[in-house]
Amino acid sequence: MNKATFNQIISSLATISWGGVPVYLYTRGLIGEYLSESFHVIALSGGLAMIVLGLFNLLHARRQVGCGHDHSHEHDHGHDHGHEHEHDHHEQNPVAAICLMIIPVMLCTGFTKHEYSKEALRWKGLYKQRTLKSLYSTYNTEFTRELLEKRTPKTSEGNFLLQLTELYWSAGDEKIMKIYDGLPAQLEGRLIEEEPTLNPDNTRKRLYRVVMTCCAADAQVLGVPLEFSTSLPALADKTWITARGKVAFELIDGQHFAYLSDCEVEATEPPETQNRRRP
């Protein structure tokens, strides 16, 4: 086997290994943890195309091909056109392809847990409160309790089916907070322990969702506290739950936070689209 064929085989394997990742994640139903929904089909098609490209070149690795161009000319530039040649005259370093393409992908596929650790959730803002003026500024003065009730579906028990994102971003604006305050609501998300400094009486857990725009790298974690008047639920961290309670607001260190009081929760199946895009 000559050097060019060897390089061709290594490049093919590198391309196939990259293509295998999105196909694996898609077929295992994990792609939603990595990418927002609009990228799912692109990632799958791209992965399949990489595998096809890699396999095609692997099958033709030993084949010597000319460029199919007309080489008839009458000047001498120092090399023989009787041979067959590639257009690019440089050769790739197979060690670089192995070390930088194949090995990192294999290691990361082995090490990933397909979700953020608790430390990363915290770092991505699980216990923080940010404001998003634009979400409600688009409503201006027309946004009222009547409008909220008109556009929000209700459960048979009379709880409004709110998105965790809209409740999270309602905090901070006095007018908007008044509209939501006291509203019986039902939310869906994942349960996690509350930050100890925010939970001195040990009556709270937190509901969170990961919000991504493109991929997990740009994700933000939005959390809303759940206050229980009875004992805390015995559910494991990161369990998907439905939470019912009344919307309330509190002021901590000069910043408003939304939370659900008098909560009841029950475990539920993860939704099809786990990572909501921002409104």
Partner 1 sequence: MFLDTWLPDFSFLFLSILVEGAPFILLGTIISGFIDVYLPSGAIDRLLPRNRGLAVLMSGLLGIIFPVCECAVVPVIRRLVKKGLPPACAITYMLAAPIVNPVTFLSTYSAFKKIPLEMAGSRLLFGYVIAVIVGLILLRVGVGRILKPRIVGELREAESSHDHHPDHGSTLLEKKNRLIMALRAAMRDFVDVGIYFVIGITIVAIVNTPPPVDQQTIPLRDYIDGTAESIWGAPAALMGLSFLLSLCSTSDAFIAATLDTFSNGPRLAFLVFGPMMDVKLLFLYSTILSRKFILILAAGLFIGIGTLSVLLEPIFEGFERNKAPPFSQGIQE
- 178-217: contacts with partner 1 (CB under 8 A): 213-217
Q: Please state, in angstroms and rounded to a whole number, the distance separating the CA atoms of residues 230 and 244.
A: 14
Q: Please state, in angstroms and rounded to a whole number, the distance separating the CA atoms of residues 172 and 258.
A: 9
Distance of CA 253 to the CA centre of its chain: 31
Q: Please state, in angstroms and rounded to a whole number, the distance separating the CA atoms of residues 57 and 11.
A: 9
Q: Which residues from 11-70 bind partner 1, rule CB under 8 A?
A: 11-12, 14-15, 18, 21-22, 25, 31, 33-36, 38-39, 42-43, 45-47, 49-50, 53-54, 56-57, 60, 63, 65-70
DSSP state of 200: T
Q: Which residues from 101-120 bind partner 1, rule CB under 8 A?
A: 101, 104-105, 107-120
Under the binding rule (CB under 8 A), the answer on residue 170 touching partner 1 is no
Q: In this complex, which beta carbon is closest to partner 1, that of residue 22 or of residue 245? A: 22
Q: Which residues from 253-272 bind partner 1, rule CB under 8 A?
A: none
**Which among 5-13, 154-162, 185-193, 232-240 is the span making contact with partner 1, rule CB under 8 A?**
5-13
Under the binding rule (CB under 8 A), the answer on residue 238 touching partner 1 is no
Q: Please state, in angstroms and rounded to a whole number, the distance separating the CA atoms of residues 64 and 217.
A: 43
Q: In this complex, which beta carbon is closest to partner 1, that of residue 26 or of residue 160? A: 26
Under the binding rule (CB under 8 A), the answer on residue 232 touching partner 1 is no
Asked if 171 contacts 177 with a C-beta cutoff of 8 angstroms, the reply is: yes
Under the binding rule (CB under 8 A), the answer on residue 242 touching partner 1 is no
Q: Which residues from 122-161 bind partner 1, rule CB under 8 A?
A: 122-125, 128, 130-134, 137-143, 147, 150-151
Taking the complex as a whole, the smallest distance from the CB of residue 156 to partner 1 amounts, in Å, to 25
23 Cβ contact list (under 8 Å, min separation 6): 44, 47, 48, 51
Sign of torsion over alpha carbons 57, 60, 63, 69? negative
Which residue of 9, 92, 177, 240 would you call a contact of partner 1, by CB under 8 A?
Answer: 92
Pairing of strands 160-161, 184-193: parallel
Q: Please state, in angstroms and rounded to a whole number, the distance separating the CA atoms of residues 90 and 101.
A: 19
Q: In this complex, which beta carbon is closest to partner 1, that of residue 49 or of residue 161? A: 49
